[in-house]
Amino acid sequence: MEYSEIASVSGKGGLFKVVKPTRTGVILESLDDKKQKLVASATQRISVLSDISIYTTTQEGSIPLEDVYKKIYSEFKDDLGVTQTSDPDELKAFIKHVIPEYDEARVYVSDIKKLVNWYGSLLQYAPELLMEKKKEDKPKEAKPKKAASKKKS
């Protein structure tokens, strides 16, 4: 699974897996155990996780959500120390620890709550998305293939 295959729908809690597009929208399936299907029309606001980023005060102006989650996972694994119901000051301290240069004026507590909630969902239902992908230093050399079978005479 990829970040481009997971979406959030405005007005609906949780995350959804993009199943397939339709003529008038897209078919989504909840990421939880219920696996409820939802047909989202073009009028609903759908955000794919690969398109979401967190505002920063750096020259780039933002950091992709994928990078944020990988950074959180490498440091905290499955124990963030905060939940979406934590005190706003705790949530701000958490995001400041993860992204010291986050833009405090443009990143709201509600955004941090979503970040924490979505992290929990991804950790439970798609943990492979949180781990760093291993990059190979050298491409593997092709080994000559052995003959699969011998000809009979």
What pLDDT, in 10s, does the model give residues 17-45? 999 888 888 999 988 878 888 888 878 88
Confidence of residue 137 (pLDDT cuts 50, 70, 90): very low
pTM: 0.79
**What per-residue confidence (pLDDT) applies to 106?**
94
What pLDDT, in 10s, does the model give residues 59-76? 989 999 999 999 999 888
The CATH label, of 2.30.30.730, 2.130.10.10, 1.20.1250.20, 1.10.150.130, for the domain at 3-49 is 2.30.30.730
Identify the CA nearest to 113 among candidates 139, 134, 81, 82: 82
Identify the CA nearest to 113 among candidates 131, 87, 138: 87
Q: Pick the most confident of 8-22, 33-47, 96-110.
A: 96-110
